Chains A and B, each alone.
Chain A
Amino acid sequence: MNPQSTPTTSAPADETSTLSLALAWVFVGVPLAWGVSQTFIKALALFK
């Protein structure tokens, strides 16, 4: 896996830190996980 881009032309530095990458995934991951958990709880009714 190559997480860093290697542009062929000069462009301003756009360094991505591990923290900002993790925060970005948390930002979208938390609502998604909440939605999935709500649906999962609802789905459990089928097995009761």
Chain B
Amino acid sequence: MAENSTSFLDRSRTVAGPGYSRWLVPPAALAIHLAIGQAYAFSVFKKPMGALISGNVDAPAPDDWTAGQLAVIFSIAIVLLGLSAAVFGKWLERVGPRKAMLASALCFGGGFLISALGVSMHQIWLVYFGYGFIGGIGLGIGYISPVSTLIKWFPDRPGVATGMAIMGFGGGAMIGSPLAVALMAQFKDVAPMGVAPTFIVMGLIYLAFMMFGVFTIRVPAEGWKPEGYVPKTNQNALITSANVDADTAIKTPQFWLLWVVLCMNVTAGIGVLESASPLIQESFSDSAMGAGRGVTAAAAAGFVGLLSLFNLLGRFFWSSASDKLGRKPTYMIYFGLGIALYALVPTLAANASLTLFVVVCCVIMSMYGGGFATIPAYLRDMFGTMQVGAIHGRLLTAWSTAGILGPLLVNYLRDNQKAKGLVGAAAYQSVFYTMAGVLVVGFIANFLVSAVAERYHVKNPAPVPATAGAH
């Protein structure tokens, strides 16, 4: 019995039989990414968790957790995301997506449950351990678990396939935030601020939701290809038909150039995300726009919501477009157009051009999301499909790095300008010009990307263990 339940998780049991539709794989991937994308909505818990003792978000008690203490939770999770994706990538390639998705579901759901205990006991280290450490491992494994499977099912349109999944990560925050607000309101009379029961319910919901992905995911049989699909050969030197293993990939300059590409794109995007709400309120205040015409806090929250929508849409749009445009030209657009738009933002803010300001920020956010979604297909082009999940995992350390450095840089620049007495749009000028500079670095790194040298290619790729072909 135990052997049967174990073998259900084995890679061999996930090989698709005749008649399996590959269009079931994106929903399986979305079940994982829509769940773990909740991480981006964790800030919704900040105020309630900072008032567990006082019960009043506007007047925290001395023993209540501070904003600084609470910020560490997300930081740990985002660092663990990158580290676990890097560490467990090769394990994922070996055991297959089903076992990895189950591990992710248990870690992510379990992280919520441990955190519920931490909140109940008012022990922040338990929340760090639960949501941050264990949940962060779930994030990392979950993020990469469907990527290589999708690429193998959709060799004819890898950008579309990975764009769909990674779009789910953007969508996860849109579900997680209102869900958490609704649950906390429901449980506010049961526990302080309703946080602990909300964590329990969300942990169980996400665990169940992710299990749909665990049961649905399949890998294609060895040698499978879509009907009528003929791999393109020699049309683009940047699309290889060879394979590079993960350990070798990190020794290539191309891997590190793409690491810089992702890191710079994310760092710059964080610049907008961190500044969006205060910038629009300060630049388009009543004094700039006229009495009663300024941007209110509610409208600023709407602006942040709009940016989230474009972040989501950009993931699918740009990644799909990259199948036609090519990955390198697509990143040239992200960086080239991005430099111009980032440099334009302070001028638009200073001139109180609200409509243009909103449009430009939305385009910027679409390219931020697009950068995340296009990178797996770029890696597949450069290093082949054999260990693309593991290579992607290692590249995600760039995201962790940007996730820590980006906010530090943005907050330092903004605070520095404000300390000099600058207000409104002027206080953000250096942020956006610096971010445009960050994109210049990304542009150069992308420009330098060339085909991986043949000496790095796997000479005789070992067959993937325990596929249908092995039976």
- Could you tell me if A21 and B16 are in contact, using CB atoms closer than 8 angstroms? no
Assign chain B's interface to a size class: 35 or more
- Could you tell me if A36 and B20 are in contact, using CB atoms closer than 8 angstroms? no
When distances are taken between beta carbons in the complex, the residues of chain A under 8 Å from B22 are 2-5
Report which of B212, B221, B295 forms a contact with A7, defined as CB distance below 8 A.
Answer: B221
Q: Quick check: which of B117-125, B140-148, B262-270, B299-307 contacts chain A, the rest being far away?
A: B299-307
Say whether, besides A3-B23, A38-B178, A46-B358, A9 and B471 are in contact (CB < 8 Å). Answer: yes
Query: Which B residue sits closest to A25, measured CB to CB?
Result: B27
Say whether, besides A5-B224, A11-B18, A36-B174, A46 and B303 are in contact (CB < 8 Å). Answer: yes
Q: For chain B, what secondary structure do more than half of its interface residues adopt (helix, strand, loop), or is it mixed?
A: helix
When distances are taken between beta carbons in the complex, the residues of chain A under 8 Å from B216 are 24
- Could you tell me if A35 and B175 are in contact, using CB atoms closer than 8 angstroms? yes
- Could you tell me if A43 and B224 are in contact, using CB atoms closer than 8 angstroms? no
Chain B residues close to A by CB (< 8 Å)? 15-24, 27-28, 30-31, 34, 168, 171-178, 209, 212, 216, 218, 220-224, 226-229, 295-296, 298-303, 305-306, 308-309, 312, 358, 468-469, 471
Report which of B21, B174, B299, B300 forms a contact with A35, defined as CB distance below 8 A.
Answer: B174
A9 CB to closest chain B CB (Å) equals 5
A47 to B300, CA, bound (A): 10
- Could you tell me if B299 and A10 are in contact, using CB atoms closer than 8 angstroms? no
- Could you tell me if A10 and B468 are in contact, using CB atoms closer than 8 angstroms? yes
A33 CB to closest chain B CB (Å) equals 9
A24 to B25, CA, bound (A): 9
Report which of A2, A14, A35 forms a contact with B226, defined as CB distance below 8 A.
Answer: A2
Q: For chain A, what secondary structure do more than half of its interface residues adopt (helix, strand, loop), or is it mixed?
A: helix
A4 to B468, CA, bound (A): 17
Say whether, besides A2-B226, A9-B221, A46-B302, A16 and B174 are in contact (CB < 8 Å). Answer: no
Say whether, besides A2-B227, A5-B224, A40-B305, A32 and B30 are in contact (CB < 8 Å). Answer: yes
- Could you tell me if A43 and B23 are in contact, using CB atoms closer than 8 angstroms? no
A35 to B169, CA, bound (A): 12
A13 to B20, CA, bound (A): 8
Query: Which A residue sits closest to B17, measured CB to CB?
Result: A14
A46 to B308, CA, bound (A): 14
> Which 5 A/B pairs are nearest by Cβ-Cβ distance?
A14-B17, A35-B174, A7-B221, A45-B302, A35-B175
Contacts beyond the supplied A11-B468, A46-B305: 14 A-B pairs with Cβ under 8 Å: A5-B21, A7-B224, A8-B222, A10-B471, A11-B221, A27-B31, A32-B174, A35-B171, A35-B174, A38-B174, A43-B302, A43-B305, A43-B309, A45-B298
A44 to B220, CA, bound (A): 43
A27 to B210, CA, bound (A): 11
Q: Fill in one digit per residue for A16-48: 1 if any B CB lies within 8 Å of its CB, else 0.
A: 100011001101100110111011101111111
Say whether, besides A38-B174, A45-B302, A28 and B27 are in contact (CB < 8 Å). Answer: yes
A4 to B216, CA, bound (A): 15
When distances are taken between beta carbons in the complex, the residues of chain A under 8 Å from B309 are 36, 39-40, 43
